């Protein structure tokens, strides 16, 4: 194992030059670097912290200890979702002690200098890291989006390591920070899929779920699709691939910034998997755990709804017909402000939709306890919600979700999924 080379500044921080919080955090980063056999540490330009979500006393104790040690982030740092909707404090069903601890944990991260964005989609904010920039992002869909769609470079940073990187501004030169680990390991040939199906974000969620299963923690590359793939479709793909597998980076040939050609990202002879509509239908049905046509709720916004998704939803709701089931749309405060300014949020609320911020409906107990079946267009929500909140799921396109929520039963566009 090569020795880890530390800079003079790193040595000074380890000696206490920046205080005890930075010293503690750099010790963690150095320990990770040694485990990963990294030759050196890298400087990052930003961080996104997932540890603000309350999982128990240890997470709260850790961040409050950093505060007691006068910790302060060294780079611009955004915060992932918390365990509460701070705008609507009664929305989350939680014991008073749990809610109080969750609020303390969110406040403690803000006190370290983190920006209280409370979103799993920091890439929808005004600051986005430039191509090739090293960052320390946590939250699986944020990691895969930063690497794949923005062409920034981050490895997978979990709780405690995320804030350690933010406070030190340093990470190991390992994993997806390095060129050799960003090459594709499997190709998904989608040339046989219909253009109509590939215009649907839900199809990309299903395709991402399949990619995660096939690639594991590797790097899939998608070929055979047109160049007009949208950010929302790439978001859906990455979030699903990071959930069903451990994907932290994907490429789409001719679309994503590192994959201007297939040859730019794929070694010769990597395994190829031909994808057809029948496989996507099978994955859609696998994500549909409900049995029977009835639905009780609609859950959208995992990852958080973008402004363009709000525009699409408002367009589908434009005729004024209401939802017949409870409907939730989860987004960030920043996107909601724009959706309100443009009238999209009012259209959703007029149809009976509830807009949730700061948290997510598959993580925290927001959906009413009598809901047995919920419909979604998110592969990530469909994958996690049954285990996390105990509901059965119907997976479909956004148009199918809206039609079903208005009918109170599953409405399918079978022609879409047949092609």
In this prediction, residue 89 has a pLDDT band, given cuts at 50, 70 and 90, of: confident
The CATH number that domain 289-418 falls under is 3.30.499.10
Q: What is the pLDDT of residue 309?
A: 98
For the stretch 101-153, pLDDT in tens is 999 999 999 999 999 999 999 999 988 999 999 999 999 999 999 999 999 99
| Residue 1 confidence (pLDDT) above 70 | no
Asked if 105 and 59 touch (Cβ cutoff 8 Å), the reply is: yes
Go through the chain and tell me how many residues it has: 419
Q: What is the largest CA-CA distance in the chain?
A: 66
CA-CA distance, 390 to 152, in Å (whole number)?
36
Asked if 383 and 377 touch (Cβ cutoff 8 Å), the reply is: no
- Token pair of 262, please? 């297939």
**In Å, what is the CA distance from 418 to each residue of 32, 193, 276, 282?**
47, 10, 10, 11
- What secondary structure letter does DSSP report for 133? -
State the chain's mean pLDDT as an integer.
Answer: 96
Strands (E) located in 50-203: 77-79, 136-137, 170-172, 186-189
- Token pair of 145, please? 């989006």
> Is the full-model pTM beyond 0.95?
yes
**Sequence ranges of the domains in the chain:** 8-178, 183-285, 289-418
| Residue 96 confidence (pLDDT) above 90 | yes
Q: What is the pLDDT of residue 2?
A: 61
Per the DSSP assignment, residues forming a β-bridge with 79 are 49
Domain 8-178, architecture per CATH: 2-Layer Sandwich (3.30)
Q: Is the dihedral of CA 345, 349, 350, 353 positive or negative?
A: positive
State the average pLDDT over residues 41-59: 97
DSSP states of 216-254: TTS-EEEES--S---HHHHHHHHHHHHHHS--S--EETT
For the stretch 233-252, pLDDT in tens is 999 999 999 999 999 999 99
State the average pLDDT over residues 282-308: 97
Cα angle for residues 351, 376, 287 (degrees, 5° grid): 165
Q: What is the pLDDT of residue 160?
A: 96
Q: Which residues contact 205 (CB under 8 A, 6 or more apart)?
A: 236, 237, 239, 240, 377, 378, 379, 380, 382, 395
* CATH topology identical between 8-178 and 289-418: yes
Helices (H), ranges, 85-216: 96-111, 140-145, 161-168, 201-215
User: Tokens 């090569």 identify what position?
Assistant: 2
For the stretch 181-236, pLDDT in tens is 999 999 999 999 999 999 988 999 999 999 999 999 999 999 999 999 999 999 99
CA-CA distance, 150 to 131, in Å (whole number)?
6
């Amino acid at each position: 194992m090569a020795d880890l080379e530390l800079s003079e500044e790193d040595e000074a921080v380890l000696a206490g030059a920046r205080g005890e919080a930075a010293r503690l955090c750099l010790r963690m980063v150095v320990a990770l670097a040694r485990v990963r056999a990294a030759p050196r540490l890298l400087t990052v330009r930003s961080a996104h912290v997932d540890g603000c979500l309350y999982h128990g006393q240890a997470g709260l104790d850790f961040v409050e200890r950093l505060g007691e040690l006068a910790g302060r982030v060294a780079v611009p740092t955004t915060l992932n979702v918390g365990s509460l909707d701070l705008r609507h404090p009664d929305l989350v069903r939680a014991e008073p002690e749990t809610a109080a601890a969750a609020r303390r944990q969110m406040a403690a991260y803000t006190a370290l200098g983190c920006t209280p964005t409370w979103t799993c989609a920091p890439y929808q904010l005004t600051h986005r890291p430039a191509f090739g920039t090293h960052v320390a992002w946590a939250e699986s869909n944020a990691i895969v989006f930063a690497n794949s769609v923005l062409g920034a470079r981050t490895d997978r940073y979990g709780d405690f390591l995320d804030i350690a990187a933010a406070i030190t501004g340093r990470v190991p030169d390992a994993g997806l920070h390095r060129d050799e680990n960003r090459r594709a390991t499997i190709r998904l040939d989608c040339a046989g899929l219909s253009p109509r199906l590939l215009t649907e974000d839900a199809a990309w969620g299903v395709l991402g779920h399949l990619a995660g299963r096939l690639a594991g923690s590797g790097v899939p590359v998608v070929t055979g699709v047109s160049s007009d793939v949208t950010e929302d479709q790439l978001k859906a793909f990455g979030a699903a691939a990071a959930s069903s597998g451990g994907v932290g980076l994907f490429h789409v040939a001719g679309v994503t910034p590192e994959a201007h050609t297939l040859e730019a990202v794929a070694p010769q002879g990597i395994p190829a998997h031909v994808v057809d509509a029948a496989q996507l239908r099978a994955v859609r049905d696998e994500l549909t755990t409900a049995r029977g046509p009835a639905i009780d709720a609609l859950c959208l916004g995992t990852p958080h709804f973008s402004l363009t998704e709000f525009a699409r939803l408002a367009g589908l709701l434009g005729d004024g017909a209401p939802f017949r089931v409870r409907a939730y749309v989860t987004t960030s405060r920043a996107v909601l402000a724009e959706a309100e300014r443009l009238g999209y949020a009012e259209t959703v609320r007029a149809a009976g939709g509830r807009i949730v911020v700061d948290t997510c409906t598959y993580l925290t107990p927001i959906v009413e306890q009598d809901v047995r079946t919920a419909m979604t267009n998110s592969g990530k929500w469909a994958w996690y919600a049954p285990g996390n909140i105990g509901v059965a799921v119907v997976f479909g396109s956004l148009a199918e979700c809206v039609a079903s929520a208005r009918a109170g039963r599953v409405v399918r566009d079978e022609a879409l999924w047949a092609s």
